[in-house]
Amino acid sequence: MPRIGPRRELKLALESYWAGTLSEQQLLEDAAGLRAANWARQKSFGVTVIPSNDFSLYDQVLDTSVMVGAIPEIYASKAQSVWLKTYFDMARGSQRDRQDASCGHGSRGFGAPAQEMTKWFDANHHYMVPEVYRGQRFRLSSREPRCRREVGGN
Protein backbone atom coordinates (compact mmCIF):
# COMPACT_ATOMS: atom_id res chain seq x y z
CA MET A 1 0.00 0.00 0.00
CA PRO A 2 1.41 3.38 -0.84
CA ARG A 3 1.92 5.18 2.46
CA ILE A 4 1.39 8.54 0.77
CA GLY A 5 -2.18 7.62 -0.20
CA PRO A 6 -3.69 6.70 -3.56
CA ARG A 7 -3.80 10.37 -4.61
CA ARG A 8 -0.61 11.48 -2.82
CA GLU A 9 -2.60 12.88 0.09
CA LEU A 10 0.34 12.67 2.52
CA LYS A 11 2.59 14.63 0.17
CA LEU A 12 -0.02 17.37 -0.13
CA ALA A 13 -0.55 17.46 3.65
CA LEU A 14 3.21 17.68 4.28
CA GLU A 15 3.61 20.51 1.79
CA SER A 16 0.74 22.39 3.46
CA TYR A 17 2.28 21.81 6.89
CA TRP A 18 5.70 23.03 5.74
CA ALA A 19 4.05 26.10 4.14
CA GLY A 20 2.38 26.88 7.47
CA THR A 21 -1.19 26.41 6.21
CA LEU A 22 -1.80 23.12 8.04
CA SER A 23 -1.36 22.67 11.79
CA GLU A 24 0.74 19.93 13.37
CA GLN A 25 -2.42 18.38 14.84
CA GLN A 26 -4.16 18.36 11.45
CA LEU A 27 -1.09 16.81 9.78
CA LEU A 28 -1.08 14.02 12.36
CA GLU A 29 -4.83 13.51 12.01
CA ASP A 30 -4.51 13.33 8.21
CA ALA A 31 -1.71 10.78 8.61
CA ALA A 32 -3.83 8.69 11.00
CA GLY A 33 -6.70 8.82 8.49
CA LEU A 34 -4.43 7.58 5.70
CA ARG A 35 -3.24 4.66 7.82
CA ALA A 36 -6.82 3.71 8.71
CA ALA A 37 -7.91 3.98 5.06
CA ASN A 38 -5.00 1.77 3.97
CA TRP A 39 -5.94 -0.87 6.56
CA ALA A 40 -9.61 -0.75 5.50
CA ARG A 41 -8.67 -1.02 1.83
CA GLN A 42 -6.47 -4.05 2.49
CA LYS A 43 -9.26 -5.68 4.47
CA SER A 44 -11.73 -5.02 1.64
CA PHE A 45 -9.34 -6.82 -0.72
CA GLY A 46 -9.45 -9.88 1.53
CA VAL A 47 -6.13 -9.45 3.31
CA THR A 48 -6.49 -11.29 6.61
CA VAL A 49 -3.16 -10.35 8.20
CA ILE A 50 -2.85 -6.58 7.91
CA PRO A 51 0.73 -5.27 8.06
CA SER A 52 1.44 -2.64 10.66
CA ASN A 53 4.22 -0.14 11.35
CA ASP A 54 4.72 0.42 7.64
CA PHE A 55 3.89 4.14 7.76
CA SER A 56 6.21 7.12 7.97
CA LEU A 57 5.67 10.84 7.73
CA TYR A 58 8.96 11.18 5.86
CA ASP A 59 11.51 8.35 6.14
CA GLN A 60 11.41 5.03 8.02
CA VAL A 61 15.15 5.00 8.77
CA LEU A 62 14.82 8.52 10.18
CA ASP A 63 11.85 7.29 12.26
CA THR A 64 14.07 4.60 13.77
CA SER A 65 16.90 7.07 14.48
CA VAL A 66 14.50 9.33 16.36
CA MET A 67 12.85 6.40 18.15
CA VAL A 68 16.18 5.24 19.61
CA GLY A 69 17.42 8.74 20.41
CA ALA A 70 20.08 8.95 17.70
CA ILE A 71 19.53 12.68 17.25
CA PRO A 72 22.69 14.68 16.53
CA GLU A 73 23.22 17.60 18.94
CA ILE A 74 22.70 20.18 16.20
CA TYR A 75 19.06 19.07 15.92
CA ALA A 76 18.38 18.07 19.52
CA SER A 77 15.67 19.91 21.35
CA LYS A 78 15.16 19.83 25.07
CA ALA A 79 11.39 20.27 24.72
CA GLN A 80 9.36 17.15 23.98
CA SER A 81 6.54 19.20 22.46
CA VAL A 82 8.63 20.18 19.42
CA TRP A 83 9.54 16.65 18.31
CA LEU A 84 8.02 17.08 14.85
CA LYS A 85 10.13 20.19 14.22
CA THR A 86 13.26 18.25 15.21
CA TYR A 87 12.22 15.35 12.96
CA PHE A 88 11.76 17.60 9.93
CA ASP A 89 14.92 19.59 10.74
CA MET A 90 16.83 16.32 10.45
CA ALA A 91 15.07 15.51 7.19
CA ARG A 92 15.04 18.90 5.51
CA GLY A 93 17.47 21.14 7.36
CA SER A 94 16.57 24.21 9.38
CA GLN A 95 17.25 27.86 9.90
CA ARG A 96 18.64 28.88 13.28
CA ASP A 97 19.48 32.23 14.87
CA ARG A 98 23.15 31.42 15.34
CA GLN A 99 26.00 29.73 13.58
CA ASP A 100 27.38 26.58 15.23
CA ALA A 101 30.34 24.85 13.61
CA SER A 102 31.12 22.75 16.70
CA CYS A 103 28.53 20.12 15.88
CA GLY A 104 30.56 18.32 13.23
CA HIS A 105 28.42 19.55 10.34
CA GLY A 106 30.86 22.29 9.55
CA SER A 107 30.01 25.91 8.95
CA ARG A 108 27.35 26.19 6.29
CA GLY A 109 25.81 29.46 7.35
CA PHE A 110 22.98 29.67 9.80
CA GLY A 111 20.98 26.64 10.75
CA ALA A 112 21.51 22.96 10.32
CA PRO A 113 21.75 21.12 7.02
CA ALA A 114 19.57 18.10 6.38
CA GLN A 115 21.10 14.75 7.21
CA GLU A 116 22.70 12.90 4.34
CA MET A 117 20.52 10.79 2.06
CA THR A 118 21.72 7.74 0.18
CA LYS A 119 20.22 5.26 -2.26
CA TRP A 120 18.75 2.01 -1.03
CA PHE A 121 21.06 -0.43 -2.83
CA ASP A 122 20.76 0.47 -6.54
CA ALA A 123 17.10 1.44 -6.38
CA ASN A 124 15.76 4.93 -6.92
CA HIS A 125 14.60 5.02 -3.28
CA HIS A 126 16.60 7.12 -0.83
CA TYR A 127 16.77 7.05 2.95
CA MET A 128 18.20 9.30 5.64
CA VAL A 129 21.62 8.13 6.85
CA PRO A 130 21.69 7.92 10.67
CA GLU A 131 24.46 9.87 12.39
CA VAL A 132 26.06 7.85 15.14
CA TYR A 133 29.34 8.27 16.94
CA ARG A 134 31.66 6.18 19.09
CA GLY A 135 30.33 5.88 22.61
CA GLN A 136 26.86 7.10 21.70
CA ARG A 137 24.15 6.08 24.14
CA PHE A 138 20.82 5.11 22.70
CA ARG A 139 17.58 5.52 24.59
CA LEU A 140 14.17 4.30 23.59
CA SER A 141 12.02 7.38 23.23
CA SER A 142 8.91 5.37 22.39
CA ARG A 143 7.78 1.82 21.85
CA GLU A 144 6.16 2.92 18.63
CA PRO A 145 6.94 5.48 15.93
CA ARG A 146 6.42 9.04 17.18
CA CYS A 147 4.05 9.94 14.37
CA ARG A 148 1.58 7.40 15.79
CA ARG A 149 1.87 8.11 19.49
CA GLU A 150 0.95 11.76 19.19
CA VAL A 151 -2.56 11.07 17.83
CA GLY A 152 -4.16 8.63 20.19
CA GLY A 153 -1.89 5.70 19.29
CA ASN A 154 -3.65 4.88 16.00
Domain ranges within the chain, ordered by starting residue = 1-52, 56-154
What is the Cα Rg of the chain in Å? 17
Instruction: Say what the pLDDT of residue 123 is.
Output: 79
Q: Going from the first residue of the chain to its last (154 residues), give the mean pLDDT of each consecutive group of 10, the final group possibly shorter.
A: 87 95 95 92 92 86 87 71 80 65 46 86 84 86 54 37
Nearest to 75 by CA among 92, 96, 95, 90: 90
Strand partners, 118: 127
Instruction: Say what the pLDDT of residue 30 is.
Output: 95
Whether 104 and 142 have beta carbons less than 8 Å apart is answered as: no
Strand partners, 94: 112
What is the distance between the alpha carbons of residues 23 and 16, in angstroms, rounded to a whole number?
A: 9
- What's the full length of the chain, in residues? 154
